[in-house]
Structure 1
Amino acid sequence: MGVTWAQPRQNSVEALCYGINQFDGVEFDLRLTTDGELVLHHDNTTKDDNYVELLSSDEMKPFADKFDELLARKDFTTPWQEQGKTVCIELKSPHPSSGVGGGWKGGSKRVEYISSMIKMVDDAIAEFELPEGTTVLYSFDKKFLPAVKTAGWSHPKARLMPTLREWGSGNLQRAIAAPSFIAHSLPRLMRKHQKWGAPMIPCTLDYLHGINRHLTLGTSVALTGKGLEKLTKARKGFPAFVWPVRVHHEKLILDAGLTPLTDDASPEITHLPDGSPRLTRPASEPLFDGQHVPWHEMTNDSRKEFLSAQRNRWQWSRSVDQLMAATSENQIPWEVPRIICHRGAGKTTF
């Protein structure tokens, strides 16, 4: 019998190195410690209920790895640099009660705080000379876009919407975000992101699946039927990265031409619920002429043929020539659907 896979802690170096090699890319969260270190941590408090931004990097060692430790791993940076893998970085704002970043007032101090984080990320990854289409930075914070402008961030950015606050329970956060969710249909959010110059839109599955998708004002879209036709027509290839996703929704999202952020990273999941093989690298190792070929090993003619077929299937607005101009052996156009592993190797409670 084989060894049962042990899921690594979310946002850990181990999880992220696993995810970027087994999938098309990874998503992770960054917070800033009191001594100015970026750490890989999602929640605003540690397991012993201390605010992350009030702890030093040494005090955070039992709970989180450092961003620098991740960047020191070749098995993470090489796929990112050379194999067309995608890295989505979410910046986390401090809890208002910590008093950091302007506390409950926010304002210019919040912009300064987030801007400092952005500059630190930019400086940390500069040495890797990453291809343009491999990295995106985003945040729920309303001050994020002004902070991006202040920091002079050199890579693509996007906004997480509707805004989820750093305070309150999950249910309270969703309740507060409900008016914004209702006021913004997914097509409207896409237009906003295009105006901001974002290469994609990160969006919750609620916009596309289940009863909540009918609550938004404007065009209601879906993953199947007439709703999918409306979505395909509205987005014209503009990419949507959808979260949270479990394995039973992956194929549905990929077949809609979208990118799922999956929480199911186990190598033991080799088939989907319908019995079909699970494809974990549809972008970085696509199925071409009946074989899985790593993107960085494909010829330009093969990439062009692959992109042309995808463009026709999902009615992308960019021409094949424009897509090829955004293509190289280590860069995949944003339009291509991929599977991103959420928090490295999926969400965990430890």
Structure 2
Amino acid sequence: MVQKWNQAPENTLESLQHAIQVNDGIEFDLRLTSDKELVLHHDADISVPASKRPHPVKWTENHTLDELTSFGFLSFEAMLSDPIIRSEWRDKGKMGCVELKRPHPKALYGGGVFGKKQHISHISDMMVKADALLDEHGIPHENTVYYAFHNGMKASAKLSKTKRPWSNLTPYIPPFGTYYTKRMRGTLHFLTTPLARLIRTNRDAGASMAPCAVEYFLPPQNVITLGRRGGLKGERIRRINAHQGGFPIYVWPANLGKEHDILDAGLTGLTDCSDPNMTWLPSGHLRWTRPATLPLDAQQRNLLKSATQSNHQNILKQLHEEVVPWSECDNERKTALVEMWKSKWQWSDSTASILERSSHASPPWEAIRLLGHRGSGKTSRPVLR
């Protein structure tokens, strides 16, 4: 009998520990506390019942780290000190996508709606603090990317002098307003920013990848943006792959029904489902949640594709017994894998150059990954009760 999996609240240690082990990595949210410490928290206001808030001001940044951790929220330092997180991230090539959250304009450090210099400085300060902790715990640069809904990301990265990869989340969603006004502004940005321009703008700015909404690839939304349409199959994805040339695109949300197509299209997906019992996708495919850190060669990919709902558990077991983690692959196998990926997704750099840039444990920067969104997936509000 299959044991039911109970999902832990988002951005908690339990949620992150689980997700980083079953996927290629994790995405999580950082905010700066009133005493200038980094804490994992998504929302602009503290996500606990209103009756439990320690004082009338609801903004997360207006609370100390001790106040937030007393509710069960996790400090970034405590996260990095956890042996499971540290081992997976540092030693097994897992990816950490660090979303840096701008405060509400009225919150501490918020800077108001038009305080661009303050916004740039705030994100820069967060990068400096995060860099120091990541360096202290030995997290490789190629296993990390910073991003934010922040139009000044290039300026923040320059000011912080970070050597780690960074990018700007698109479409832009401001840190203020109701759910609907935020979505409306995000939709307007989406409509006027073609996918090709999104990739080009990030690359030209010095960003290391392009995060974007899945709507760029799915009908009917993909037909209403300016410029050429995106897609997950056929000529549309071949054209996108050629435009990428290996420049990574991280897509959210990677819903279960489209997860297979997203990964097969050469795109990294952020999933809200890290349920270990989800082994057969609604699309009719065997699920493989570690395409980068537990990579399949051509023969193993064919075996994966041959699975049926009735035999997929046996095939999954066989693959887990046979597949060699990237961190344990010899040079010959790594070379064969990169050449297969280059051919399938039109990566432009040479195999030697790609392998030279990746460390022993870390898959290539171009590698296609599945990452746990906010750890094991977003959860209901309030996050902690």
TM-score, normalization by structure 1: 0.96
List aligned pairs for 1:100-139, cutoff 5 A.
100-139=109-148
Contact 1:187–1:234 (CA under 8 A) maintained in structure 2: yes
1:123: how far off? 0.8
Q: Which among 308, 323, 327 is matched to residue 354 of structure 2? A: 323
Secondary structure, in 3 states, of the residue corresponding to 2:338? helix
Identity of aligned residues (%): 36
Contact 1:131–1:330 (CA under 8 A) maintained in structure 2: no
Secondary structure, in 3 states, of the residue corresponding to 2:110? helix
Secondary structure, in 3 states, of the residue corresponding to 1:87? strand
Counterpart of 2:210?
201
**Which has the larger displacement, 265-274 or 228-237?**
228-237
Residues 181-217 of structure 1, C-alpha deviation per residue, up to 9 Å, x if partnerless? 1221111111111112222111110111121111221
Contact 1:221–1:227 (CA under 8 A) maintained in structure 2: yes
Counterpart of 2:267?
258
Q: Which among 179, 196, 204 is matched to residue 187 of structure 1? A: 196
1:10: how far off? 0.4
Contact 2:216–2:230 (CA under 8 A) maintained in structure 1: yes
Counterpart of 1:309?
340
Q: Which among 327, 340, 348 is matched to residue 371 of structure 2? A: 340
The question of 1:58 aligning with 2:66 is answered yes
Q: Distance in 1 between matches of 2:129 and 2:102?
A: 14
Q: Distance in 1 between matches of 2:102 and 2:284?
A: 42
1:312: how far off? 0.5
1:142: how far off? 1.8
Secondary structure, in 3 states, of the residue corresponding to 2:64? coil
Contact 1:132–1:331 (CA under 8 A) maintained in structure 2: no
Secondary structure, in 3 states, of the residue corresponding to 2:253? strand
**Which has the larger displacement, 259-268 or 109-118?**
109-118
Q: Distance in 2 between matches of 1:214 and 1:70?
A: 41
Q: Distance in 1 between matches of 2:132 and 2:43?
A: 24
Q: Distance in 2 between matches of 1:8 and 1:299?
A: 36
**Which has the larger displacement, 204-213 or 20-29?**
204-213
Residues 223-246 of structure 1, C-alpha deviation per residue, up to 9 Å, x if partnerless? 123322221222222211100122
**Which has the larger displacement, 228-237 or 329-338?**
228-237
Counterpart of 1:285?
294
Q: Which among 231, 240, 243 is matched to residue 234 of structure 1? A: 243
The question of 1:38 aligning with 2:28 is answered no
Residues 279-320 of structure 1, C-alpha deviation per residue, up to 9 Å, x if partnerless? 011110112353321111110110000110110111111111
Contact 1:162–1:180 (CA under 8 A) maintained in structure 2: yes
The question of 1:15 aligning with 2:46 is answered no
Contact 1:83–1:330 (CA under 8 A) maintained in structure 2: yes
How large is the RMSD of aligned CA atoms in angstroms? 1.5
**Which has the larger displacement, 227-236 or 85-94?**
227-236
Q: Distance in 2 between matches of 1:6 and 1:53?
A: 30
Q: Distance in 1 between matches of 2:156 and 2:287?
A: 39
Look up the equivalent residue of 2:211 and give its one-letter code: P
**Which has the larger displacement, 256-265 or 326-335?**
326-335
Alignment gaps of 5+ in structure 2: 51-57, 301-321
The question of 1:91 aligning with 2:122 is answered no
Contact 1:183–1:216 (CA under 8 A) maintained in structure 2: yes
Contact 1:68–1:124 (CA under 8 A) maintained in structure 2: yes
1:105: how far off? 3.2
Look up the equivalent residue of 1:39 and give its one-letter code: V
Aligned length: 350
**Change in 2 beyond 3 A, CA 1:287/1:222:** same
Counterpart of 1:149?
158
Alignment gaps of 5+ in structure 1: none
Residues 68-109 of structure 1, C-alpha deviation per residue, up to 9 Å, x if partnerless? 110111100111111111110000001012252312331322
Contact 2:62–2:108 (CA under 8 A) maintained in structure 1: no
Q: Distance in 1 between matches of 2:139 and 2:65?
A: 27
1:143: how far off? 2.6
